[in-house]
Amino acid sequence: MRLRDWRIPTLAVAALAFALPTGGQLPYYCFYALAAATAFAWLWVRITARNVSCAYRAERRALAVGEAVSVRLRLYNEGLLPVSWLECNDASPLRPPAEASWRAALPGLGSAVRVETVRVRRRGVYPLGPLKLRVSDPFGIFEGRRTIAGSQPLIVYPRVQPLDYLPLPLNLPLGSVRTRRSSPEDFSSLAGVRPWRAGDNPRRVHWKTSARRGRLHVREFELAATADVHIFLDLAAGVYGPDEDERAVEIAASVARYALDRYLNVGFLAHGGRRYFLPPGKGRRAFRELLELLALAVPEGKLPASRALLFEAAGFSPRAAVVVITPQLTPDLAGALLRLRQAGLGVLLIHLLPSITATSPPGGYAPAAANTPPAAADLLPGLRRHGVTALSVRDVDELSRPGGEHRWRPSPSG
């Protein structure tokens, strides 16, 4: 409770001070009337402030960067006394400060609804509320303030871009050379039907074809990749410029979507303010869990990417493919990538270049070597010679662009 207008209480005190030495009915009448108005206003604010409540409702709880969501706020007056003056200030970071405050009035046992469309420009977790209320009485003497906690927050995922092709260094079972190493089959992709041979699994018999041709035929499926794809995102403190971590996270999400669409197991690793870890998995659930981690990822790590990568190397499976996303390629990181490659792992380095500035040449993208720091420009050729697939890109669109530093020819199955 706060005193908003001091004039009526001051007049009541002045009327009492005049009535005590002089007497008379009029001064006492003025004092009683002003004092009653002050007490009435104090009780009004105290009761109505307690009776106001609110409820947030968003059309969905999860969205991607750049998408809009409709947020509905309903204010309730649970008492019989009307709320003649009410000012609301939404402290949620979803709204700019200029649009976060508005005024309303609530009848007894009534409500008011405010609907807003909010467009989120950055990933993260955004709470709905808290809502700060200011309630006043009809005379405007007192003001009651109250803070109402918000509801379940919104989670904003990074933007995911479709990739046409990505040179993932997978251990694919291609060719006709006989080997002792077993290769699993993708039972969601039928390759064809062939005559039955001794040793075939009876469960794979294609009965319609067998009945039509008069002899047993079995189904054959395409061979699937056996490598797990581990995405390692550099979240060390100080390696990103303004908003550069958004581009790196967007690349990580797009690479994960590309691998999951090809029925590969995808895991995630990062060392930021905490350790972000997701074991390799498939399907929509794995992708949703990965997006939730990326929405929370903050570049506040104390370990450099080289040390964090070697720290996690023991957990990689023998046939894993590691995708490293970093804006800072150092000799220590190059050495860590070569150690992973020597251990038999497939390594894909996605080196994030600085964004285009006003000094960039007209026409868009400058050659990668001209914008790459000298140390990185010297390290990239050596990494490629030792079997590390290295790409230098500015954003996710360049991953599927066959040109510049990362020129390749897509495979027929890619």
State the burial class of residue 344 (Cβ atoms within 10 Å of its Cβ: 0-12, 13-18, 19+): exposed
The reported pTM is: 0.71
If phi > 0 it is left, if psi is from -120 to 50 it is alpha, else beta; for residue 171 that is: beta
Task: Reply yes or no on whether the pLDDT at 179 is more than 50.
Answer: no
Q: Cα separation of 126 and 62, whole Å?
A: 10
Question: Strand 101-106 to strand 111-119: parallel, antiparallel, or no bridges (unpaired)?
Answer: unpaired
The answer, yes or no, to whether residue 290 has pLDDT greater than 90, is: yes
pLDDT on residue 349: 94
Q: What is the phi/psi pair of residue 261, to 5°?
A: -65, -20
Q: Residues 237-263, buried b or exposed e (16+ Cβ, 10 A)? A: eebbeeebbbbbbbbbbbbbbbbbebe
- Location of structure tokens 């005049």: 18
> Which pLDDT score is estimated for 220?
80
* Confidence class for position 306, pLDDT limits 50, 70, 90: very high
Structure tokens at 411: 């495979």
389-393 sheet: strands from edge to edge: 275-281, 265-271, 228-233, 321-326, 346-352, 389-393
Tens of pLDDT, residues 358-367: 344 444 433 4
Residue 279 has pLDDT above 60, yes or no: yes
Bridge partner residues of 124 (DSSP): 156
For range 240-262, the mean pLDDT: 91
Token look-up 């997006």 returns 291
Q: Span 72-87, mean pLDDT?
A: 90
209: left (phi over 0), alpha (psi -120 to 50) or beta: alpha
pLDDT at 96 over 50: yes
Report residue 187's pLDDT band, with 50, 70 and 90 as the boundaries. Answer: low
Query: Both tokens of residue 208?
Result: 């319609």
- Give the pLDDT score at 172: 54
Which residues on neighbouring strands pair with residue 71, listed in sequence order? 58, 116
In the DSSP assignment, the letter for residue 255 is H
Mean pLDDT across the chain: 82
**44: burial class by Cβ within 10 Å (0-12, 13-18, 19+)?**
buried
**Distance separating alpha carbons of residues 279 and 59, to the nearest angstrom:** 31
Residue keyed to tokens 């971590």: 245
What value does the mean pLDDT take over residues 130-141? 90
249 pLDDT band, cuts 50/70/90, is very high
Q: For residue 167, say if its preceding peptide bond is cis, omega within 30 degrees of 0.
A: no
Tell me the pairing of strands 124-128 and 265-271. unpaired
How much is the pLDDT for 403? Answer: 40
Q: Which residues pair with 223 in a beta bridge?
A: 185
Q: Which two tokens stand for residue 319?
A: 């046939």
Place 276 in a pLDDT band, splitting at 50, 70 and 90: very high
CA distance 369 to 365: 11
Q: Which residues pair with 315 in a beta bridge?
A: none
In this prediction, residues 295-322 reach a mean pLDDT of: 89
Label residue 20 by pLDDT band (50, 70, 90): confident
pLDDT above 60 (res 223): no
Residue 251: pLDDT over 60: yes
Can you tell me the distance from the alpha carbon of 343 to that of 318, in angstroms, rounded to the nearest whole number?
8
Lowest mean pLDDT among 93-97, 120-124, 228-232: 93-97
pLDDT tens digits, 365-404: 334 343 445 567 788 888 999 999 999 898 888 886 544 3
pLDDT at residue 185 in the model: 59
Residue 4 has pLDDT above 60, yes or no: yes
**Residue 345 confidence (pLDDT) above 70:** yes
Written as six digits, the tokens of 139 are 């005379």
Which residue ranges form the domains of the chain, and what is each CATH number?
1-157 (2.60.40.10), 185-223 (no CATH), 228-400 (3.40.50.410)
Alpha carbon distance 12, 9 (integer Å): 5
Task: Report the share of the chain in percent with pLDDT over 70.
Answer: 84
